Structure 1
Amino acid sequence: MDPAIEAIRTFNRFFTRHVGAIDARFLDTEANLPEARLLFEIARQEPVQANLLQAALGLDRGYLSRMIARFEDRGWIMRDRFEADARTRPIRMTEAGREAFDKIDQRQRAAVAHDLNRLDAVAQDDLVQALTKARLLLDPDAPAEFIIRSARIGEVSQVAARQSILYAASHGWGRELETLEAETTAAFLRRFKPGREECWVADLSGTMAGAVFLTDEGDSLARLRLLHVEPFARRRGIGGALVDECVRFARDRQYDRIILWTHTVLDAARRIYAHHGFECIATEVHHEFGEPVQGETWQLRLTA
């Protein structure tokens, strides 16, 4: 744990300095960073009650009250007067408050743009993915939208790498599985049949959150391969959405059946397959991953 703890603390020290988190005047404005954050929430939610701001920001009630009082003294906000309890009076921004917020917002956008302009397109994408993963790893229940799209250059190979890492950690499957994954993805790229095969990626706020393949096995038979969902993205329905895409694609291309190979120990994946109408039609113990493990063949008939 010690190296991981030190790495995170080192980054925190860098980032608080980088964004001016401890500056008395954030981006050379009248507000510090907590005040700028509060002003953002008021601008986004107005009219809004103080208790909702407290819940959104996780602030101490007294600290929040003092900031709101400072905003009133500066003429940035006003409160409706029809409630006796100040905590229930909706807060609205004044024209002066809107001007203060716009100044902070524009300067912050300019500061972020300055950081991004120093990076090429690949580095920008790496940064966005790293930040998204960090946010969702630390807050896996945070709201985030995903889309299902076709894989981009390099992502097919990433699937093999990520699955090898994840299965080594969860089940101890090592080099043998990694070899099989690499051979499967290389064959997909080498023999790809446009319009008959596809690799789909679940894109969660700009980062790969999972993937699946569908390949043409001949005689109107398709094979679902290499389904996985990243740990930081689970419990969002991504696995089901990826299998949905496979089944829809196979029906549109008039395949008769979809088959897949999985393992008895992979309970979450098996539940997804069963939910979509797949049935286990054969089991066999194998040693392809070193230790004996029970493999299963599942099938979904698409035509009567």
Structure 2
Amino acid sequence: MTGSSLAERVAAVRAFNRLYTGVIGVLDEGPADAEYSLSEARVLFELAQQEQVQVTELRKRLSLDGGYASRLLSRLETRGLLVRERSTSDARKQVVALTAAGRAAFADLNGRSTRRIGGLLERFPDRDQRRLLGAMGTITALVGEPPHPVPMVTLRAPRPGDLGWVTQRHGEQYAEEYGLNERFEALVTRIVADYAEHPDPRQTGWIAELDGVRVGSIFCMPGADPDLAKLRMLLLEPAARGHGVGKRLVRECVEFARSHGYARMELSTLSVLSAARGIYRAAGFELADQYPTDEFGPLLTEEIWRLEF
């Protein structure tokens, strides 16, 4: 491509940008729209598409600077249109969601926008409307971001090396997120060794993969009596959270125990693991006992949950 032809194409793109910006300006005109800035309207639109969004993800979608995004969300929060809180699955992350007033505001904005765009399209006959939409589709396909494929979740039996990974990630993750010491990793090591050294047709384990990468584990092991199954070593990497991996692992483990003649199932967890506790409760487990412990460093509450088949 010669320099002159490239310059001509650049000029054509700029001309289109000016035209399109002018059209959008006409669509956005009107005193009622002064209630929200364009950035505020974009935030309302994004949040209306789902129940809640991580703040970092919202910033990425809208290409917002961190400081500007914080001020923008604060303004909308002060007006009662959204709420910010810590994620239940990862307390280090903040999520944001529309309030009832926020959804009402979005519905009003969306209705006005729909009417204006409808008015623009009605200026053209049906054939030209299809041409316009086809041209928009071509632009989107060429310069837009490619669609994000839905991650593929698979569960499989443990393979050589997986048990070492389970031990390592338990030790690393619980130390990083909850401050647990090496005694916790030693406990996991003993459980893993017991699983490997005592094969039993009534025990099994699963490794979860997300697009071929290990992201989780769970094990069903015999308890102290023949009727008792133990749910052990549920692990979820941060990348797996929000994809239903934990629920699927627990469901598989429970179904295995039920189909192999156990009358009940039991697990031990910590009260700080709120996301895991929610999964257990949803699967039918009930809190049976709890007591304080500092065995693994910080003072925590250990819990026993049980499920009757």
Q: TM-score range by the shorter chain?
A: 0.5 to 0.7
Q: Closer, same or farther in 2 for the Cα pair 1:206/1:293, shift >3 Å?
A: same
**CA-CA distance at 1:142 after TM superposition:** 5.8
Counterpart of 1:112 in structure 2 is: none
**Pick from 258, 264, 267: which aligns with 2:265?**
258
Partner of 1:213: 219
Stretches of structure 2 that go unaligned for 5 or more consecutive residues are: 2-60, 62-126, 139-147
Q: Residue 18 of structure 1 corresponds to which residue in structure 2?
A: none
Matched, 1:180 2:225: no
Structure 2 residue aligned with 1:89: 134
Letter in 1 for 2:227: S
Shift of 1:85: 7.6
TM-superposed CA distance for 1:83, in Å, is 3.4
Aligned ranges for residues 1-304 of structure 1 at < 5 Å? 82-83=127-128, 87-89=132-134, 143-193=150-200, 195-217=201-223, 218-302=225-309
Secondary structure of 2:177's partner? helix
Output the amino acid matched with 2:302: G
Deviation at 1:290, TM superposition (A): 2.0
Tell whether the 8 Å contact from 2:179 to 2:298 is kept in structure 1 after alignment: no
Tell whether the 8 Å contact from 2:289 to 2:304 is kept in structure 1 after alignment.
Answer: yes
TM-score (norm 2): 0.53
| CA distance, structure 2, for counterparts of residue 85 and residue 227 of structure 1 | 52
For normalisation by structure 1, the TM-score amounts to 0.54
Residue ranges of structure 1 left out of the alignment (5+ in a row):
1-23, 25-57, 59-81, 94-140
Greater mean alpha carbon deviation, residues 236-245 or residues 213-222: 213-222
Q: Deviations over 1:182-217 (max 9, x none)?
A: 111111111121x21111011211111111011012
- Could you give the per-residue CA deviations for residues 86-143 of structure 1, whole angstroms, max 9, x where no partner exists? 65236999xxxxxxxxxxxxxxxxxxxxxxxxxxxxxxxxxxxxxxxxxxxxxxx862
Other structure's SS at 2:231 match: strand
Q: What is the RMSD of the two structures over their aligned residues, measured on CA atoms?
A: 2.5
* AA matched with 1:89: G
Post-superposition shift, 1:160? 1.2
Look up the SS of the partner of 2:275 in the other structure.
helix
In 2, Cα distance between equivalents of 1:295 and 1:84: 63
Q: Secondary structure at the match of 2:276?
A: helix
Give how far 1:243 is off. 0.4
Task: Report the number of matched residues.
Answer: 176
Cα contact 1:147–1:202 (8 A) shared by 2: yes
Give the drift of 1:84.
6.4
CA separation in 2, counterparts of 1:211 and 1:83?
55
Runs of 4+ in 1 over 2 A off after TM superposition: 82-93
Among the aligned pairs, what percent are the same residue? 33
